[in-house]
Structure 1
Amino acid sequence: MHITHLHELGWNHFFQSQLTLEALATSLPFRVTGVQRNLIECLGLDAQGMAQSLQLSTYSWRHEAPENHPTVGDWLLLDRDLQPLHLLERKTLIKRRSAGSEAVLQLLAANIDTLFVVTSCNEEFSLNRLERYLALAAEAAIDVVVVLTKKDLCADTSVYVDALRKPYPRLPIEVINATDARDVAALAMWCSSGQTVALLGSSGVGKSTLLNSLQGDDGQVTAPIRAKDSKGRHTTTSRSLHRLQGGGILLDTPGMRELQMVDCEEGIQATFADIEQLARQCHFHDCQHLAEPWCAVLQAVEAGELEQRRLDNYHKLLAEQARNSGSVAERREQDRALGRFYKQAKASAKRFKSRD
């Protein structure tokens, strides 16, 4: 990825304003373009203003809480010797509880301007899953565009558009064939220079094919869809940043087989704003909308004004985020306590060494 100015990587006033005049003169901003188990891949401009790609060890953050670890899209401040100083404040952050049984917070992407939620016009389409993605974006205050792919394999795409338009009449929706340049051009307004967009969706919905088209090359390996069940094969294995033809930056993510909500109550409430509005009319202020009398939400379901599926998903996501947030908070406090212990031990070791 060749750059001549940090703006091309998404650098803007939000990040610039965090630096003092001294920091501007003595340090270098680098953007995280990839994260491996023990390495952080970064891109920026060196002291001579030349594009520099480098790898940093994650060792510097070994005692930090998970939310303080660098993730793809972050900005790091390095010294003139290209050693890490600190992580800049994030504009936005997408996170989840990590897959598996361990209660660990996983950071997916930072400093995203627009999220392309990608799904396909076939059996892969799921309103429940889309609402999960929308809540994630709402919590992070990121603009969303739903991209419906594989329109060339669908006889009637209006079925999928209408299903989304009913609960979200103002939601931007683009229906495309990801291999058609004219279709993909409809996304250009969100991919201009200085803008960072991310692709989020389950495996096989066409994210890598879409990335190829936005880049104008075949930099990502894509897998053909299976005809039997309309499911594509997983092709992206790690999160990474890519430069687009229009000058923007795009983050591709692996297909999310498990996307557990955490610290996302406000995002869920925003995604289900219609239910939240109905809830204000319930007779009991602590109504759970399950079986209480004079519940305005349940009355809306009975009247056909609210889908039972939508209410069920609302309950499911709220319960999930409450459960996960509690367990992650407990793990977070354990990590912080361990981090404090290591820092105190390190400080004590320095004091004893100075006495010698």
Structure 2
Amino acid sequence: MLNHQFLTSLGWNPFFQQQLSLHEWEHYLPARVTQQHKNSLKVETSEGEINLPIMPSMPAITVGDWLLIDTQSAFLRLLERQNCFKRKAAGVQSAEQLIAANIDTAFIVCSLNHDFNLNRIERYLSLIHETQAEAVVVLTKKDCVDEYTGQLEQVRQLAPNINVVAINGLKPDCIDLLSPWVRTGKTIVMLGSSGSGKSTLSNQLLKQPIQQTAGIREQDSKGRHITTSRSLFLLPDGGLLIDTPGMRELQLFDCENGVSATFADITELALLCRFSDCQHQQEPGCAVKKAIDSGELEARRLKSYQKLHREQQHNHADLAEKRAKDKQLTQFYAKTQRDARKNKRG
């Protein structure tokens, strides 16, 4: 008999339950991916932890996914995701990289030192809004600065009712500020660049030093990659945490709705422009430029919006072209195999 209470603590909910037939529920095991390695997956089930070999026939899987396996620990299928965080793979190749799946809340971890960057926060917000997960901006290392109320206010200006907290990740009481989002069965993903304090914060939430930490370079507050793989942890106070490696590059694609939601103030102003295709440069009757001139809108914010909008369109086109080529290649291979079988029979 499956331990439904334990599955619930792993994030199991009616969305996944309704994907199983009665036969599947009675004879197979739901399993959540907790670690992903080159050749295997570590999954957690109501009957314990299992190492699952990655086979060529399996779909792309990431940490946080729910799978269905049989009693012999063989993969059956991947369950439909509630959401999935993904980016364009780093480098020049046209490929997507899955970050984490089935997320309730995303912590955008950004330090209050020299690495504080509003443009980067907007980039992460666009990714999160696309998935419809809840976003929380966690400003770390408040003990390293004399004053941070100005930075708090800058983040609050990015969106109405945005969740933002400032913490000292070295003190255990910092988790009290994050407790509203740490709940049984709810999954949190930690996003941020190297040196932002993600691993330190993870250790506080886990109440033990599981993740290795390191200092930053004094001259520019840049950090080093400490977390090198994605892992899902059960938190002692309830809830689940996915820590991710620091990302110096987060290229967006398939994020048109996320970018629009992050910059809702600009998209709403654009509706008032005289021309529907206004580029918000020097066109007459541009409501966006008027807002910048009056001080209602920051010029920085418009530049950030235009950069992310161009980037997501470009990357989306590149990946769509690659998918089309891959589909044609798959169809060609399938036709070649069919023809070979026909010739063999003939």
Q: TM-score, normalised by structure 1?
A: 0.91
Residue 57 of structure 2 is aligned to residue 56 of structure 1: no
In 2, the alpha carbon distance for the partners of 1:251 and 1:183 equals 18
Residue equivalent to 1:303: 294
1:220–1:292 CA distance, 2 compared to 1 (3 A) = same
Amino acid at match of 1:13: P
Secondary structure of 1:181's counterpart equals coil
1:228 CA drift (Å): 2.9
Match of 1:71 in 2: 62
Instruction: Letter of the 2:205 partner, please give it.
Output: L
Equivalent residue for 2:195, pick from 191, 204, 213: 204
Partner residue of 1:185? 176
Q: Is 1:85 equivalent to 2:85 in the alignment?
A: no
> Which stretch of the first structure deviates more once superposed, 36-45 or 176-185?
36-45
Q: Which residue number corresponds to residue 113 of structure 1?
A: 104
Cα shift at 1:341: 4.9
> For residues 21-77 of structure 1, what are the alpha-carbon distances to aligned partners after superposition, in whole Å with 9 as ceiling and x for unaligned?
1111222111111222222221213xxxx213223224223xxxxxx4111111111
Fraction of identical pairs, as percent: 47
- Once the two structures are TM-superposed, the CA of residue 284 in structure 1 deviates from its matched residue by 1.0
The yes-or-no answer on 1:14 pairing with 2:5 is no
Aligned mates of 2:340, 2:66 — CA distance in 1: 31
Equivalents in 1 of 2:310, 2:14: separation in Å?
38
Of residues 89-98 and 230-239 in structure 1, the stretch that sits farther from structure 2 once superposed is 230-239
**Counterpart residue number, 1:23:** 24
SS of 1:5's equivalent in the other structure is: helix
Call closer, same or farther: CA 1:109–1:343 in 2, change over 3 Å.
Answer: farther
Contact kept? 2:9, 2:239, Cα under 8 Å: yes
Q: Secondary structure at the match of 1:170?
A: coil
- Is the 8 Å Cα contact of residues 38 and 59 (structure 1) preserved in structure 2? no
Given that 2:216 and 2:223 are in contact with CA atoms closer than 8 Å, whether structure 1 keeps it comes out as yes
Size of the alignment, in residue pairs? 343
What is the rounded CA distance, in whole Å, between the counterparts of 1:104 and 1:321 in structure 2? 13
**Which residue of 1 is the match for residue 154 of structure 2?**
163
Q: Distance in 2 between matches of 1:142 and 1:23?
A: 29
CA distance in 1, matches of 2:339, 2:200: 54
Counterpart-to-counterpart distance in 2, 1:307 and 1:136: 22
Call closer, same or farther: CA 1:349–1:13 in 2, change over 3 Å: farther
| Alpha-carbon RMSD | 2.1
Taking a change above 3 Å as real, the CA distance of residues 350 and 270 of structure 1, as seen in their structure-2 partners, is same
Q: Which moved more, 1:28-37 or 1:83-92?
A: 28-37
Q: Give the Cα–Cα distance (whole angstroms) in 2 for the partners of residues 178 and 205 of structure 1.
A: 10
How far residue 103 of structure 1 moved from its aligned partner, in angstroms, is 0.5
Structure 1 residues 121-141: Cα deviation after superposition (integer angstroms, max 9, x where no partner): 111110111000000000111
Counterpart of 1:106 in 2: which secondary structure?
strand
Superimposed CA distance per residue, residues 221-278 of structure 1 (whole angstroms, 9 cap, x where no aligned partner)? 1002333322232211111111212121101111111110101111000000000110
Is residue 2:125 matched to residue 1:134?
Answer: yes
Asked if structure 1 preserves the Cα contact closer than 8 Å seen for 2:52 and 2:74, the reply is: no
Please identify, of 262-271 and 164-173, the stretch whose mean Cα deviation from structure 2 is larger: 164-173
SS at structure 1 position matched to 2:232 = strand
| AA partner of residue 64 (structure 2) | G
Q: Aligned-pair distance for 1:4?
A: 7.0
**1:136-177 per-position Cα deviation (integer Å, ceiling 9, x unaligned):** 000111100000000111111112101111232311111101
Task: Give the unaligned 5+ runs of structure 2.
Answer: none
Q: Is 1:146 matched up with 2:137? A: yes
Query: Which whole-Å CA distance do the structure 1 matches of 2:19 and 2:5 have between them?
Result: 22
Distance 1:346 1:211 in 2: 50
Matched residues in 2 for 1:5 and 1:59: separation?
31
Q: Deviations over 1:195-226 (max 9, x none)?
A: 10000000000000000000000011100233
Aligned CA distance change for structure 1 residues 54 and 301 (closer, same or farther; 3 Å): same
Partners of 2:140 and 2:196 within 8 A in 1? yes
* Equivalent pair of 2:50/2:73 in contact (CA under 8 Å): no
Whole-Å Cα distance in 1 between the matches of residues 342 and 51 of structure 2? Answer: 34
Alpha carbons of structure 1 residues 347 and 314: separation in structure 2 relative to 1, 3 Å: same
Q: CA deviation at 1:291?
A: 2.0
Aligned-partner residue type, residue 263 of structure 1? D
What CA distance in whole angstroms lies between the structure 2 residues aligned with 1:104 and 1:8? 33
Stretch moving more, 340-349 or 279-288 = 340-349
**Aligned match of 2:221 in 230, 233, 242?**
230
Distance across 2 between alignment mates of 1:144 and 1:190: 10
- Note if 1:317 corresponds to 2:314: no
Q: Distance in 2 between matches of 1:96 and 1:26?
A: 36
- Counterpart Cα distance in 2 of 1:326 and 1:247: 41
Q: Does the CA contact (< 8 Å) of 1:40 and 1:58 recur in 2?
A: no
